[in-house]
Structure formats: C-alpha cells, structure tokens
Amino acid sequence: MPRYMLIMRGTDESNAAMMASIDEAMAATGRFIEDMMKAGVLLAAEGLDDPARGVVVDFGGETPVVTDGPYGETRELFGGYFLIEVATGEEAVEWATRVPAVRGSKIEIRRVAEADEVPPGSRA
C-alpha cells in the first residue's frame, strides 16, 4: 500500500498563531493522531523544534557553508509531518484536510517513492 507524507508548512505568522493557543493546538493534534491510529493509517508523526535552533548546510558553492538558524530566504518552514499508509492519493488528501492546522498553514502531500522506483544503478 502506498505511503504518503503530510508535510506541515507554516509561516512566522501561522506559527505565532499556533503558539498563542498551543494547549488547544496540541489537544486537537492529539485527537487527530488518535483518529489516524484507530483507522490504522498512521506510521509516524513528528514535530520539529524551533527553526532558530536549526542549522543549514548550503551546497551552493565549492564547499558547504554552515549557517545557524533557519534558511534566510524561506517564507514557509517545514514544521513536522505525518507519515500515513493509505490506498490512494485521494485518501491522503482526505486525511490532510482533517489536520487541525491554523489559518495560514499549508499541508503538502507527497507520496513516498518505493525502492523499486529508484533508477537502476543508483541503489546502494
């Protein structure tokens, strides 16, 4: 069965809105996770730490450049994900529409490529 990643993407504004009501947001997310577990579709779910605590490694030049904090030109930040296993992309979309996200957030849905989809010769 195909796997899909529901990627939580937010802006500074949507992240601030979520933090303003973090207890409510966490309770709603907990209920959503329980629903996915009961349906047997949830494989993993993780939230990421504050982007200010992150590090970016940029491979744009001859040697990698390491910078503390979030990538400066990003308007949206990857805040976490749900990894689900469902029969179709449409079912993944249905689950994504149920994510308890705040206004201004987005959920990007990406199918996880299977090992047999990797081009020959590039497999380890």
Partners of 3 in beta bridges: 85
Whole-number Å distance between alpha carbons of 82 and 50 = 18
| pTM given for the model | 0.82
> What percentage of residues in the chain have a pLDDT greater than 70?
92
Give the architecture-level CATH label for domain 3-111: 2-Layer Sandwich (3.30)
Dist. CA 53–CA 87, nearest whole Å:
37
Provide the residue ranges of all domains of the chain, joining segments of one domain with +.
Answer: 3-111
pLDDT at 117 over 60: yes
Per-residue pLDDT tens for 23-54? Answer: 888 899 999 999 999 999 999 999 888 777 88
Tell me the CA end-to-end span of the chain in Å, nearest whole number: 23
pLDDT digits (tens, 9 = 90+) for 3-30: 999 999 887 777 777 778 788 888 999 9
Residue 63, pLDDT score: 97
